[in-house]
Structure 1
Amino acid sequence: MNGWETWLTRQRDTRERLGLQRTLRPRGAHDDVIDLAGNDYLGLSKHPAVRSAAAEAAQTWGAGAGASRLVTGTTDLHGELEAELADYLGWPAALVFSTGYHANLAVVAALAERARVISDAHVHASLVDAARLARAEVTVTDHNDVAAVEAALASCASPEGAGGCGACGDGGCAGKPTRFERVVILVESIYSVLGDEAPLAELVRLAEQYDAMLVVDEAHGLGVRGDGRGLVHAAGFAGHPNVVVAATLSKSLGSQGGSVLGSPALIDHLVNRARPFIFDTGLAPAATAGALAALRILRDNPDLPASVTERVRGLADLLDVPAPAGALLSVPMTSPQEAVAAQAACLEAGVRVGCFRPPSVPDGISRLRITASAGVSDEDWSRAVKLLLEVIR
């Protein structure tokens, strides 16, 4: 065994000892397990219209886009999806990416290159990686701490001779003008681990005051909050000049891919400067058409999110845990080992749930992750709730 194999073996042994080892477990297309672990919040992934649209697109355009969007990978389908997403969510323009991860990477890397980033401690890993890709100077603030965000913004705006930008932490730039012409604030509308929502009104006020750009990841808000158009729209900030929205197509829309919504100038900048967009193959036609069909179903059925809210709040009451702002319910466990054991017991009983363990959880507390999906029948939902209560209690 060479040095690398020895190192890899030790890494695995450490993960095993701490209860942090993860394993891929392929599932069949037609297993009889009730799925409360995925992100298909509205059950649209298997909707007949979505399946049909995806199949027809694959027959028409082929299995893949064939190239990056700037070469030949942009199809009429991409244009339709971008136009309808922008119209539905209340933005002037939209740009579609191959994944939600790429959407977050692209928008932050293109806006925050060598700039200042103020990031909530609980943002998704894709936003963390995006700030690194941008080579930005990053300040991480405590979760949903508006005062900390304001203090970080004020430090960026410090006038010459008043203590510098504050980014160096020790006053090393005191007496110098601010080094940051641009500041980007990173948050999620609804956080996937704790299930709480961002204080958008206060953050937008700060973005206006300091002329910062607030990037909001709506991955868990789209299709769940308000009439389905997400928390930013419900709060009245769609189209705001100091706000940019990133959203995924793989959760409520049941497909794959991601999108960024903002001004035409922003989209033009991303097309020309965002490396995760420029050098990536375009979203596959089947996924594009599937997301478009799902979007139209959501648009025509604004009552769909209410069923998710009803289910997640009812289950939270039964389990005596706080009700989340979105579709994901977190049930704290005392250790990673207990979380894994509870997940296995649920699966043995016929219900698939998720499991959060370090380092995936920002506060270090392992949890079961339960998705309240509108795609599960009433009968299966009732059976799943009964089984969950038996296992967790």
Structure 2
Amino acid sequence: MKEFTFLQKELDTMREQGTFQELPKIESYQGPIVRMKGRDIIQLSSNNYLGLTSHPRLKKAAVDAAEQFGAGTGSVRTIAGTFTMHDELEKKLAAFKKTEAALVFQSGFTANQGILSSILTKDDIVISDELNHASIIDGIRLTKAGRKVYEHANMEDLEKILKKSMSYRNRLIVTDGVFSMDGDIAPLPDIVRLAEQYDAFVMVDDAHASGVLGENGRGTVHHFGLDGKVHIQVGTLSKAIGVLGGYAAGSKVLIDYLKHKGRPFLFSTSHPPAVTAACIEAVNVLLEEPALIKRLWDNTAYFKKGLENIGLPLIQSETPITPILIGDEAETCRFSATLFELGVFAQAIVFPTVPKGKACIRTIMTAEHTKQDLDKALDIIETGARKSGLL
């Protein structure tokens, strides 16, 4: 049988360069302290912003739904896989995001793929921020539309592209709300202003803003007071929401169209009852327990100040995502390994997740961390940095 020698060669090169990483394995629930390799480790790499993965209300909702409705649904949504609870979740998400309708996908990744691949034709153009998430990039690759990339958050460059794109039937500007690696927030008011000026649509991926920004965690659109002015909002149910999935929120026309043309929605089995019920309860928690978001931001401010006092180079971030910039990929992986030995799990982020030369340790705070957790993590990071020659 033919062997994958060409793939083995690439893997061997990664090992030689010190960038090959085994998948880290967690032996406990996803909390501020996790069990890994038989040890308790401070977790600084999870997207579990509000600690909802283990919230008692979500766990109970999941267990009750599994007991009543079973482990799975047995069908795609368009045949026999839509339960009343799926409809309830989508109505709740639409109300939460202040839109006419919403549609749940299997993940945030497939939501972006399904939207972009279905609504654009060769007569349209999609205009994308250069630091947009991989799911947006891959979604764009699935279209026959024209495509342009503007310099990150550069509104002059965006306007130049808009001016040159007026011959297309439609122009769609797509941006992350919060950029997942650097933690900065898109200049959404300026993007919306340009879109209105040049008659363009706007699509925002709020994966890292849902549950984090805006009243009750409604996202960047609400954070900037732009409800009703952004055509497509994408969110995840697997980060601050704490469960699994993604969704699109927008007009009823958009959602009805995606139900008929969005290929990941059409050809994937629907969310299991436990997942769906837990997502419904997560939205209820966001509305009823706002103290979680306040605690998240208090911890974020505290930890950022601590990192600044240590003196390591930081990528300037406006959100709980706080990257420590190292640059060299192998050195970043070694630093991550050193931190793990000392008691902190902070994963190295290297190419192709970030550009070459921009390797970093991306830390994320959660509402569940105590000040004692954060102080201990800061001490370990300083010790590890000195041990690694970074200070």
Same fold judged by TM-score > 0.5? yes
Which has the bigger relative contact order, CA under 8 A and spacing at least 6?
1
Q: Which residue of 2 aligns with 1:98?
A: 106
Q: Which residue of 1 aligns with 2:210?
A: 222
SS in 2 for 1:123: coil
Q: Which residue of 2 aligns with 1:314?
A: 302
Higher alpha-carbon deviation: 98-107 or 248-257: 98-107
Q: Which residue of 1 aligns with 2:263?
A: 275
Deviations 1:82-102 (A, max 9, x none): 111111221111111111111
Q: Which residue of 1 aligns with 2:243?
A: 255
Q: Please tell me whether residue 337 in structure 1 is matched to residue 330 in structure 2.
A: yes
Aligned equivalents of 1:311, 1:132: Cα separation in 2: 38
Q: Please tell me whether residue 78 in structure 1 is matched to residue 71 in structure 2.
A: no
The AA in structure 2 aligned to 1:26 is K
The size of the alignment, in residue pairs, is 370
Of 339, 344, 350, which aligns to 1:351?
344
* Partners of 2:299 and 2:369 within 8 A in 1: no
Q: Which residue of 1 aligns with 2:201?
A: 213
Q: Which residue of 2 aligns with 1:324?
A: 317
* Aligned-residue offset at 1:70: 0.6
SS in 2 for 1:108: helix
* Partners of 1:317 and 1:323 within 8 A in 2: no
Aligned equivalents of 2:370, 2:80: Cα separation in 1: 42
Q: Please tell me whether residue 234 in structure 1 is matched to residue 223 in structure 2.
A: yes
Stretches of structure 2 lacking an aligned partner (at least 5 in a row): 30-34, 309-313, 386-390
Superposition TM-score, scaled by structure 1 size: 0.90
Q: Please tell me whether residue 112 in structure 1 is matched to residue 88 in structure 2.
A: no
Aligned equivalents of 2:80, 2:374: Cα separation in 1: 44
* Partners of 2:327 and 2:359 within 8 A in 1: yes
Q: Please tell me whether residue 199 in structure 1 is matched to residue 207 in structure 2.
A: no
Q: Please tell me whether residue 185 in structure 1 is matched to residue 173 in structure 2.
A: yes
* Partners of 1:92 and 1:239 within 8 A in 2: no
Aligned equivalents of 1:146, 1:284: Cα separation in 2: 42
* Aligned-residue offset at 1:389: 2.7
Q: Which residue of 2 aligns with 1:265?
A: 253
SS in 1 for 2:278: helix
Of 131, 144, 151, which aligns to 2:160?
151
Deviations 1:177-197 (A, max 9, x none): x2x211111101110111111
* Aligned-residue offset at 1:49: 0.7
User: Identical aligned pairs, as a percentage?
Assistant: 34
SS in 2 for 1:21: coil
Q: Please tell me whether residue 132 in structure 1 is matched to residue 141 in structure 2.
A: yes
* Aligned-residue offset at 1:357: 0.2
Aligned equivalents of 1:324, 1:387: Cα separation in 2: 22
Aligned equivalents of 1:56, 1:239: Cα separation in 2: 36
Could you say if the C-alpha distance between residues 13 and 363 of structure 1 is closer, same or farther in structure 2, counting changes exceeding 3 Å? closer
Aligned equivalents of 1:19, 1:239: Cα separation in 2: 48
SS in 2 for 1:95: strand
Q: Which residue of 1 aligns with 2:32?
A: none
* Partners of 2:328 and 2:357 within 8 A in 1: no
Could you say if the C-alpha distance between residues 152 and 204 of structure 1 is closer, same or farther in structure 2, counting changes exceeding 3 Å? same
Aligned equivalents of 2:247, 2:384: Cα separation in 1: 38
SS in 2 for 1:45: helix
Superposition TM-score, scaled by structure 2 size: 0.90
Aligned equivalents of 1:391, 1:75: Cα separation in 2: 51
Question: What RMSD over aligned residues (CA atoms) do the two structures have, in Å?
Answer: 1.7
* Partners of 2:126 and 2:148 within 8 A in 1: yes
Aligned equivalents of 1:253, 1:25: Cα separation in 2: 22
* Aligned-residue offset at 1:322: 5.2
Q: Superposition pairs for residues 47-86 of structure 1, below 5 Å? A: 47-86=55-94
Aligned equivalents of 1:328, 1:132: Cα separation in 2: 27
SS in 1 for 2:265: helix
Give runs of ≥4 in structure 1 deviating > 4 Å: none
Aligned equivalents of 1:277, 1:362: Cα separation in 2: 31
The AA in structure 2 aligned to 1:278 is L
Aligned equivalents of 1:363, 1:198: Cα separation in 2: 23
* Partners of 1:190 and 1:221 within 8 A in 2: yes
* Aligned-residue offset at 1:364: 4.0
Aligned equivalents of 1:293, 1:87: Cα separation in 2: 14
Stretches of structure 1 lacking an aligned partner (at least 5 in a row): 158-177
* Aligned-residue offset at 1:323: 5.1
Aligned equivalents of 1:349, 1:136: Cα separation in 2: 50
Higher alpha-carbon deviation: 254-263 or 343-352: 343-352
Could you say if the C-alpha distance between residues 318 and 195 of structure 1 is closer, same or farther in structure 2, counting changes exceeding 3 Å? same
* Partners of 2:106 and 2:264 within 8 A in 1: no
Aligned equivalents of 1:351, 1:77: Cα separation in 2: 39
Aligned equivalents of 1:362, 1:276: Cα separation in 2: 29
Could you say if the C-alpha distance between residues 302 and 280 of structure 1 is closer, same or farther in structure 2, counting changes exceeding 3 Å? same
Q: Which residue of 2 aligns with 1:167?
A: none
* Aligned-residue offset at 1:363: 6.3
Q: Which residue of 1 aligns with 2:388?
A: none
The AA in structure 2 aligned to 1:27 is I
